[in-house]
Amino acid sequence: MSAITQPSRPDVAQVSALPNRWHLLGLEGKNRGEILSIVESAVGFREVLERDIKKVPALRGKTIVNLFLESSTRTRTSFEIAGKILSADTINIGSSDSSVTKGETVLDTAAVLEAMNPDVIVVRHSASGVPGMLAKLLKRSAIVNAGDGLHEHPSQALLDLVTIRESFGKITGLTIGIVGDVRHSRVARSNAYAHLALGNQVRFIGPPTLVPHDLSAAYSGAIPVFHSLKEGIAGCDIVMCLRMQLERMDEHFVPHLEEYSKEYGVSERMLRAYAPHAKVMHPGPANRGIEVSSEVLDGPRSLFHLQVKNGVATRMAILFHAVNGLSATVRN
């Protein structure tokens, strides 16, 4: 009996990388032009969200896996909505419903997913560097960092820029005070890289335990550190509050949250006195009454909900470029 000849089947590892694959791992090292092109694409997509039928065919036939191995409300939901509006097929995997709970490594999990040939894998993980590792080791899928440990949260900083552009009519010539738990904040890191690339003034404000002086060295000394809230926010166009990342603190960085709030909680009284024209941003989720008062968060100077809204258009832009390359032009 003659042997049955199997048709040759390309091994996943042999499949060549997609020609236009573009990873978004972080904003460190990104230049002004790259950042502006993503922001402009997001602005182009914003109009789609106002339509009766929120659907464009830009990613029809493409597959996006949202691999969220750390909890998320905004980022996960907006990446899913963004993919669906672009007509991509989107699949969501969380830590509790993945085989990671059975001991599979994140790399094996991602390789399994890549064998099913998705165009993009969006990944959130509590360990810094996981998206970068996947981008190096996987051959086909574009990797998008949806937040990795203490490292970066690039899509958050990009949606912040889209929000600033909408609110101020510009994204340069601004002074941004980033207040609070800078030490543990991937949002602070991505925003700092983005604003420095755009030529904006950035300040870090908080107690020495959460904003050590040597943090400035990580940005070539370009970011002054303030341990006084009123001195730090004086003259700021934007006060960006950071969540106290209690889950990332393995020691006591502040004596008591109430004490912290008295010194560094952003209140309307403080803003009126020292930064009367400032807008306030917060990436969420917020600890109301700790890093920011409800009066500020729900008040007229708050961009909190606009940030969430712009998250969808921004993530549409990121997914579009992940599939088509950064030089592709958005046409709705």
Which residue type sits at 214?
Answer: D
Which is nearer to ligand CP, 26 or 147 (by Cβ)? 147
3 state SS of 240 = strand
Inter-residue long-range contacts of 169-172, CB under 8 Å, 24+ positions, other chains counted: 171/36, 171/39, 171/198, 171/200, 172/198, 172/199, 172/200
Selected from 20, 37, 72, 92, the binder of ligand CP by CB under 6 A is 72
Q: In what order do the strands lie in the sheet with 238-241?
A: 225-226, 201-205, 175-179, 238-241, 279-281
CB of 243 to ligand CP, least distance (A): 8
> Does residue number 26 form part of the binding site for ligand CP (CB under 6 A)?
no
Contact 191/178 with Cβ under 8 angstroms? yes
Which is nearer to ligand CP, 87 or 126 (by Cβ)? 126
Selected from 83, 131, 177, 283, the binder of ligand CP by CB under 6 A is 283
Site string for ligand CP, 112-151 (x = CB under 6 A): -----------------------------------x----
Q: Which candidate, 133, 142, 129, places its Cα nearest to that of 107?
A: 133
Site string for ligand CP, 73-112 (x = CB under 6 A): xxx-------------------------------------
Which is nearer to ligand CP, 123 or 330 (by Cβ)? 123
Selected from 173, 224, 285, 299, the binder of ligand CP by CB under 6 A is 285
Tell me the angle at which helices 154-168 and 32-46 cross, rounded to the nearest 10 degrees. 70
CB of 185 to ligand CP, least distance (A): 10
65 DSSP β-pair partners: 91, 121
Q: Which DSSP state fits 39?
A: H
Which is nearer to ligand CP, 290 or 330 (by Cβ)? 290
Which is nearer to ligand CP, 114 or 160 (by Cβ)? 160
Which is nearer to ligand CP, 75 or 324 (by Cβ)? 75
Rounded-to-integer distance, Cα 190 and Cα 238, Å: 16
**Interaction site with ligand CP (CB under 6 A):** 72-75, 147, 156, 283-285
